[in-house]
Every structure is written in C-alpha cells, then in structure tokens.
C-alpha cells in the first residue's frame, strides 16, 4: 500500500470512528501545494480532526521521539496515555509500549517529518523544504509546551522556527509560501480554516518570521475565542 493510499484510508477511518466533525471557514483549502497549515494542537484530537477534515494530503511535523522505537513508548505515556486515557500507572506503561509498536512504523510510512532540536533541526528543515519544493503541504503545531495555556483560547504561545520555511522556500523557488491558520474547536468537533498569510521576502527575515507567527497566532486565537480575526496593517504582503 502506498503512503498516499494509507493516509487517505486512515483519514476516512478516523473521521468515521473518532472525529465525525465538520470543516468550516470562508476559505477553501488549496488542493495543490505547496502550503503550510498551522494549528493549535487541542490534545490528541487536533491532528486527528485536521487529517479527517481537510481534503489535502498533509505531511505533519511530529516530535522526533514519536518515530524512535526506544523513545516512543515513554513519550506516548507522558503525552497521550496518561492525560487522555487516564489509565492507572500499572497499566499505562505497558499500553504505551504496545501502542508505540504500532505508531512508530505507521508514522514513518505516512511520511511524517520528525522535529529534532539544535543542530539536528537542520535535517527537519531540509526534509520540509524538499517536500514543499515538490508541491506538498505540511502541517505544523507550533505551541510551546514550556509556556502557559491561555485560559480564553486553551492555546499556548507559538514557537517561531517553522516560519523559517518561508525563507527557505523563496530561496529555492523564488515564490511566496502561504501559511494557513487552522483552529481546532475540540468540544464542538469543528476545524476552522482561516485566511492564508503569505511570506514576504521583501521584509528582513527575522522581522518577517515574527510577523508571520504573530498573525497566525492572532488569527487562530481569535477563531478559538469566537471573535473576528485581526487584519494586518502597515506591512507589505505578496499575493
């Protein structure tokens, strides 16, 4: 079974068995890449809801531990099994180990992009840039787990590193990369797609990275809070 066939089979299965929600918003998702979709995580249901809702083949950024056969079990224990399944300690550890034996090969076969740290992060960028150059779309959950959750939105502030993809893509293709904000409304079982933000290579890179991240975070927070999304002012954007 090809990676694409596996992805669509899994997305349809998750939609029927787990998600069952809807896609809302005034913007149509692009059926052809490249693009970067940026979303709040909303626990384990966020990636499931997006994969089940968007008619786009996505290549998600995932924590590198998730595709490491030695580290996946402990990571699942901390990030999913204990907080989501609420299993007792004596059961949570073996369940995490058993689950990792399924998820590691599955995530690898789906073409998920591992996110590492420090110097290894360059490999994450390299793989991502190659995917974008091939016309594929990425999915990123940039919330910083070290920072506090906003009680109004249920979302943490964003890390900024993913916006560097805009610079890399322009350097390779001389085209502006679009970043699509997505708000996952966990309780309502809705995925909301917002207006894309285009990377502007005319701005200094550090400034443009901050602008892109700020706009995406603000738009997603506004959608989660049920308000109007902010409009960028005084900054040049490419179409």
Of 33, 229, 234, 43, nearest in space to 137 by CA: 33
| Confidence check: pLDDT of 190 > 80 | yes
191-204 residue pLDDT tens: 999 999 999 999 99
Task: Respond yes or no on whether the N-terminal peptide bond of residue 8 is cis (omega within 30° of 0).
Answer: no
CB 19 within 8 A of CB 48: yes
Alpha-carbon span 32 to 29, nearest angstrom: 9
| Confidence check: pLDDT of 228 > 70 | no
Phi, psi dihedrals of residue 210, rounded to the nearest 5°:
-65, -40
Alpha-carbon span 34 to 136, nearest angstrom: 5
Alpha-carbon span 200 to 176, nearest angstrom: 7
Which strand (E) or helix (H) includes residue 221?
Answer: helix 205-225
pLDDT band at 10; cut points 50, 70, 90: very high
Q: What is the DSSP string of 171-214?
A: HHHSSPPEEEEEEEETTTTEEEE---EE--TTS-HHHHHHHHHH
Of 49, 37, 28, nearest in space to 190 by CA: 49
DSSP E strands in the chain: the ranges are: 22-24, 35-39, 58-63, 113-115, 137-140, 178-185, 190-193, 197-198
CB 197 within 8 A of CB 215: yes
135-169 residue pLDDT tens: 999 999 999 989 999 999 999 999 999 999 999 99
Structure token pair of residue 112: 């998920």
Structure token pair of residue 190: 């809705």
pLDDT band at 53; cut points 50, 70, 90: very high
Number of Cβ within a 10 Å radius of residue 67: 18
Q: Which domains does the chain carry? A: 21-63+110-225 (3.40.1130.10)
pLDDT band at 238; cut points 50, 70, 90: very low
Alpha-carbon span 235 to 219, nearest angstrom: 16
Helix axis angle for 164-173 and 121-133, nearest 10°, is: 50
Report the relative pairing of strands 137-140 and 35-39 from DSSP bridges. Answer: parallel
| Confidence check: pLDDT of 119 > 70 | no
| Confidence check: pLDDT of 101 > 80 | yes
Alpha-carbon span 178 to 29, nearest angstrom: 11
Alpha-carbon span 115 to 107, nearest angstrom: 13
Taking the CA atoms of the chain, what radius of gyration do you get in angstroms?
A: 18
| Confidence check: pLDDT of 239 > 80 | no
Higher-pLDDT residue of 84 and 229 is 84
């Amino acid at each position: 079974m090809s990676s694409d066939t596996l992805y669509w089979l899994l997305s349809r299965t998750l939609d029927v068995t787990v998600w069952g929600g809807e896609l809302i918003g005034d913007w149509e998702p692009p059926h052809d890449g490249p693009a970067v979709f940026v979303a709040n995580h909303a626990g384990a249901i966020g990636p499931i809801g997006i994969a089940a809702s968007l008619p786009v083949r996505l290549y998600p950024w995932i924590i590198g531990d998730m595709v490491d056969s030695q580290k996946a079990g402990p990571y699942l224990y901390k990030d999913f099994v204990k907080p989501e399944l609420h299993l007792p300690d004596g059961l949570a550890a073996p369940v995490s180990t058993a689950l990792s034996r399924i998820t590691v090969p599955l995530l690898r076969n789906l073409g998920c992009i591992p996110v590492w740290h420090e110097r290894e992060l360059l490999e994450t960028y390299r793989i991502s840039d190659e995917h974008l150059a091939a016309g594929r779309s990425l999915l990123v959950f940039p919330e910083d787990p070290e920072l506090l959750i906003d009680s109004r939105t249920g979302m943490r502030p964003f890390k900024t590193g993913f916006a560097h993809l805009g610079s890399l893509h322009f350097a390779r293709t001389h085209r502006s990369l679009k970043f699509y904000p997505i708000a996952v409304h966990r309780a309502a079982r809705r995925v909301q797609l917002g207006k894309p933000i285009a990377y502007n290579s005319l701005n200094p890179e550090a400034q443009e990275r901050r602008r892109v991240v700020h706009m995406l975070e603000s738009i997603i927070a506004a959608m989660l809070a049920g308000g109007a999304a902010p409009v960028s002012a005084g900054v040049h954007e490419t179409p």
